[in-house]
């Protein structure tokens, strides 16, 4: 197990190098001048351009640029934005909001998704089952920005239950969290239902009944534990995704998260900002995935890592 974790951690090194290189190359290789329009209506003075070019090693070949950048990164130096703020500070400022949003979304997925799936699976063909199947289909088919805007109008404006946009409190993240989690929530509900229905027909559930176990125990212990394994791993992987920020949801609810930062970075050709943020996201994603794989082994004893 320990060896497996170490191997997985070592595997992350080439992955991180590869992804950062691709991102770095893509951002700086984009056609156009990164300093166009940075100085208002006038063209930027040559002195400014030469200073910035030196600062970001832009006159070096791409590989050298990237190498110098990575050396800085390894030393914990994330660099500065064009405006001169430390990128690391901006990340530190924005990341907690993204994490909060992701956690809220995951809680919705866990609680509502699993509950809906279990109820639907136990009463297969019943009213709730059909309700879950139809409503999840609707959620899956509608783009997230539509759900976001409808949620703002209905819950935020008409009912007035929750704030329409982000005001710096966790409370105002509930609605965007729900919107962000809604798509995966639908998948979780369906996955849970399918697994439950399948496992209810399995031989070991029949054995549990034949052992004289009460119905509650047959379902709650024998069936549920097995049905939850794929659902939990799905939710874990989804958490890794959500920690990468949510450009659309953050945009709709005006949330200053990482997604928003990356979006603006790409728009303004802030190569250093984008690369730094993506490096962090890749690392987080890889670590969460490793955690999910370990969780999978913990839930299903048939899986062992050597």
Partner 1 sequence: MATTEPSAAPRPPDAGAAPLLEVDDLHVEFRTRDGVAKAVNGVSYTLSEGETLAVLGESGSGKSVTAQAIMGILDTPPGYVTGGAVRFRGQDLLQLPEEERRAYRGRSVAMIFQDALSSLNPVFPVGWQIAEMFRVHEGLSKKDARARTVDLMDQVRIPAARERVNDYPHQFSGGMRQRIMIAMSIALDPDVLIADEPTTALDVTVQAQIMNLLADLQRERNMGMILITHDLGVVADVADTIEVMYSGRIMEQASVHDIYGAPAHPYTEGLLRSIPRVDLKGQELSAIKGLPPNLSRIPEGCEFRPRCPYAQQICHDTRPPLLEIAPGRFSACHFAQEVLEGDFDNAEQ
Of the pair 168, 214, the CB lying nearest partner 1 is at 214
Q: Are 303 and 52 in contact (CB under 8 A)?
A: no
Among 105, 118, 183, 229, binds partner 1 (CB under 8 A): 229
Q: How far is the CB of 124 from partner 1 (least distance, A)?
A: 10
Q: Which is nearer to partner 1, 42 or 302 (CB)?
A: 302
Contact 176, 249 (CB under 8 A): yes
Query: Would you say 23 and 274 are in contact if contact means Cβ atoms under 8 Å apart?
Result: yes
> Applying CB under 8 A, what is the total number of residues that bind partner 1?
23
Task: Tell me how far, at minimum, the Cβ of 25 lies from partner 1, in Å.
Answer: 46
Phi and psi at residue 80, to the nearest 5°: -120, 155
Q: What is the DSSP string of 254-283?
A: T---HHHHHHHHHHTT-HHHHHHHHHHHHH
Rounded to whole angstroms, the Cα distance separating 94 from 92 reads: 6
What are residue 80's DSSP bridge partners? 86
Among the listed residues 222, 265, 271, 288, the single contact to partner 1 using CB under 8 A: 222
Kindly give the residue spans of alpha helices, DSSP state H, lying in the chain: 2-29, 46-55, 62-74, 87-108, 114-122, 127-141, 144-151, 174-200, 203-210, 215-217, 224-242, 247-252, 258-267, 271-299
How far apart are CB 204 and partner 1 at their closest, in Å?
A: 4
Of 42 and 304, which CB lies nearer to partner 1 in the complex structure? 304
Cβ atoms of 243 and 281 closer than 8 Å? yes
Which of 60, 72, 268, 300 lies at the binding interface for partner 1 (CB under 8 A)? 300
Looking at the Cβ atoms of 54 and 221, the one nearer to partner 1 is: 221
Stretch that binds partner 1, among 92-100, 219-227, 254-262, 286-294 (CB under 8 A): 219-227
| Binding residue for partner 1, selected from 103, 144, 237, 299, defined by CB under 8 A | 299
For CA atoms 68, 73, 78, 81, the dihedral sign is positive
Query: CA-CA distances (angstroms) from residue 23 to 54, 97, 180?
Result: 21, 24, 25
- Nearer to partner 1 among residue 102 and residue 292 (C-beta): 292
Q: CB-wise, 226 or 273, nearer to partner 1?
A: 226
- For the CA atoms of the chain, what is the radius of gyration? 24
> Which one of 12-20, 21-29, 96-104, 296-304 is the stretch in contact with partner 1 (CB under 8 A)?
296-304
Touching partner 1, residues 159-218 (CB under 8 A): 201-204, 206-215, 217
- Distance of alpha carbon 297 from alpha carbon 294, whole angstroms: 5
With binding defined as CB under 8 A, does residue 301 bind partner 1?
yes
CB of 131 to partner 1, least distance (A): 21
Task: Give the nearer residue to partner 1 in terms of CB position, either 42 or 216.
Answer: 216
Interface residues with partner 1 (CB under 8 A) are 201-204, 206-215, 217, 222, 225-226, 229, 299-302
């Amino acid at each position: 197990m320990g060896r497996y974790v170490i191997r997985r951690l070592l595997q992350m090194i080439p992955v991180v190098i590869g992804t950062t290189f691709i991102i770095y190359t893509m951002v700086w290789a984009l056609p156009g001048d990164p300093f166009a329009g940075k100085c208002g209506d006038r063209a930027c003075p040559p002195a400014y351009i030469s200073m910035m070019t030196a600062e970001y090693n832009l006159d070096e070949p791409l590989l050298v640029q990237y190498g110098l950048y990575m050396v800085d990164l390894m030393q914990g130096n994330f660099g500065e934005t064009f405006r001169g703020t430390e990128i690391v500070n901006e990340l530190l400022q924005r990341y907690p909001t993204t994490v909060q949003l992701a956690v809220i979304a995951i809680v919705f997925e866990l609680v509502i998704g699993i509950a809906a799936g279990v109820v639907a699976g136990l009463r297969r063909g019943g009213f709730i089952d059909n309700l879950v199947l139809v409503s999840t289909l609707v959620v899956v088919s509608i783009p997230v920005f539509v759900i976001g805007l409808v949620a703002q109008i209905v819950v935020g404006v008409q009912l007035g239950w929750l704030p329409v946009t982000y005001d710096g409190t966790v409370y105002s993240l509930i609605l965007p969290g729900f919107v962000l989690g809604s798509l995966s929530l639908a998948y979780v509900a369906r996955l849970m239902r399918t697994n439950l229905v399948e496992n209810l027909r399995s031989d070991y559930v029949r054995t549990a009944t034949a052992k004289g176990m009460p119905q509650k125990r047959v379902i709650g212990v024998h069936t549920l534990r097995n049905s939850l394994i794929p659902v939990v791993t799905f939710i874990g992987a989804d958490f890794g995704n959500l920690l990468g920020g949510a450009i659309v949801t953050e945009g709709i609810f005006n949330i200053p998260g990482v997604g928003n930062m990356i979006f603006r970075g790409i728009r303004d050709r802030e190569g250093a900002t984008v690369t730094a943020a993506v490096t962090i996201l890749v690392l987080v994603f890889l670590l969460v995935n490793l955690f999910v794989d370990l969780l999978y082994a913990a839930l299903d004893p048939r899986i062992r890592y050597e």
